[in-house]
Amino acid sequence: MIPHITFLAFLLILGNSDASTPRVDPLVNTNLGLIRGVRASDGDYAMFMGIPYAKVNASNPFGKALPPEPFDGVFEAYDDSAICPQIEEFNNTSVGTLDCLHLNVYVPTKANTRNPVPVLVWIYGGGFSIGFSGRYLYGPKYLVRHDIILVTLNYRLGPYGFMCLDTPENPGNEGFKDQVLALRWIKQNIQAFGGDPNKITLVGESAGGVAVDFHLLSQQEKLFDRAILQSGTAELPIHPEPVKDSPLILAQHLGFDTSDINEAITYLSQLDTNLIIEATSELNLSFRLCVEKPFDGVESFITEDWLQASMPKVKRMPILIGFNENEKISSYFGSDAGDLNPNVFKDKLNLGFDISDPNFAGMEELVKRFYLGDEEVSAENILKIADFDSDYTYNHPTYRSIAKYLDNDASDIYFYVFSYVGDRNFARRKKNINVGGAVHADEIGYLFDISFFDETPNDEDQLMIDRITTLWANFAKDGNPNPILRTSDLLPVAWTPIKKNTPYYYLNLGSELTLETKPFHRRMAFWDLFYRTNRNLQIIHPESD
């Protein structure tokens, strides 16, 4: 159970809990000046928290961020409570400020400039509308004990991060561009912390995994060397058409009626962020990534159809990628599951295809029959509907991404399915789900020390913690999750990678580790044929000019 303490208060307690403890605190010299961290009390590592890597432009908080200012004296990096404006998921309250473009660096004692260690950079999920980088959810001790540096970062969300207006001032994808600024800061400064700037692994879950894939696709320079994508790629059909007049809609809802986008942006820029976030929720506005209209002198992130774009950064890059066994059960069961949508097949397919095209006629019925046979959409068939949603939203997009990486000459691809069910499965526990297997985000509880999981892990959960963090750390070190000696009591199975013209090997991360091939083979074969048949009807918002 989450303790009876407000979310923000808990963040503040975490952020200041170590600052008053007498100790010899670590000091590093970066491009912006000296940063003083704090020794951790739960492991042999140091924490440098709340470091500003960029600054939101107060006159246009929906646009390009500004470079950070040099420190006036020593920066005291003790506070990880910064959170960008959002309605957070734990208490469903509006929180955050625009002073949020911070990152946290967790450094094992072993690391130093003469003995640099690999770096793992974490991008959180949350549908581009929620999320934060602090220890409330992403405690570092399970990962840094493997002698790697962990960096977690904040980026702007919702209207502040993904308002796509096709103007030079607000072209879109600012949340991704925040991440680029953070990655540049890491590349330039991580050596001062004892990190190896040539061994940076970018890892993300859900929307964070989508972000990792878009960094591989983007027009920006290559800022990392390896990639881990957990339940998210650029192939996910999750992107609604951008609402180009969203500033006008928000402004009118908040009392200012105008037909001028610039006037609306100026008005909204002066308002409390909580008002903007609450209005976004009340109006049910969705802000996601988009294809940007290019402008001279404006740095772009994505300006072409990403489904067709080449991926030169992938060449010779090792990639670790996978999904959870029953991803979308969490949308249909548990404490916050909504009513079953009778049009679930149509509404889901509409996000990925032009369902109004005459050539798409009959396709919705084909999908329904594959999953339900002659039965109807009903509560009795909800597990089958969850299978459809999992396959369409996460599983087959992962297959398509793997194929794209192979086409672009990626190095070894390590494919996994997380199927373990224990006491630390994050979403099953949070939503009180008691059916099926591992659901979306469940693996987080084994990679990170989640603050409100305050009990000591049982032996089975500790084994999964040890296994998954060792695999991820090995991959960060060598581009290969296998131990040097190939097998051990901890990792008794060699993880065979996917290469061109090999089977789709995957490691089943369950109570036992098993190497298998092509998960959900029959269902994936159906979607292979479906996408080949309807390739020309796939949509991207907005269409490239």
Amino acid at 481: P
The vertex-522 CA angle with 516 and 524, nearest 5°, equals 85
Amino acid at 507: L
Question: Does residue 475 sit in helix, strand or coil?
Answer: helix
Instruction: Find out whether 425 and 327 touch, Cβ atoms under 8 Å.
Output: no
CA-based end-to-end distance of the chain: 50
Element (H, E) at 323: strand 319-324
Of these residues, 81, 206, 330, 451, which one is catalytic? 206
Which tokens go with 59?
């006159």
Is residue 206 among the annotated active site residues?
yes
Cα-to-chain-centroid distance, residue 438: 18
CA dist 368 and 375 (Å) reads 9
Amino acid at 144: V
Instruction: Find out whether 156 and 149 touch, Cβ atoms under 8 Å.
Output: no
Element (H, E) at 118: strand 117-123
Place of tokens 């207006």: 165
Instruction: Find out whether 217 and 194 touch, Cβ atoms under 8 Å.
Output: no
> How many helices (DSSP H) and strands (DSSP E) are in the chain?
16, 16
CA dist 214 and 232 (Å) reads 11
Neighbours of 510 (CB within 10 A): 16
Residue 463 is given by DSSP the state H
Give the full edge-to-edge strand order of the sheet including 45-52: 38-39, 45-52, 102-108, 149-153, 117-123, 195-205, 226-230, 319-324, 413-418, 505-509, 513-517
Largest CA distance in the chain: 71
Helices (H), 138-234: 141-144, 158-162, 174-189, 207-217
Question: Does residue 536 sit in helix, strand or coil?
Answer: helix
Instruction: Find out whether 237 and 393 touch, Cβ atoms under 8 Å.
Output: yes
With b for 16 or more beta-carbon neighbours within 10 A and e for fewer, the 9-43 pattern comes to ebbeebbeebeeeeeebbebebebeebbbbbbeeb
Question: Does residue 64 sit in helix, strand or coil?
Answer: coil
CA dist 474 and 487 (Å) reads 13
**Pairing assessment for the beta strands 195-205 and 27-30 based on DSSP bridges:** unpaired
Is the bond leading into 542 cis (omega within 30 degrees of zero)? yes
Active site residues per annotation: 206
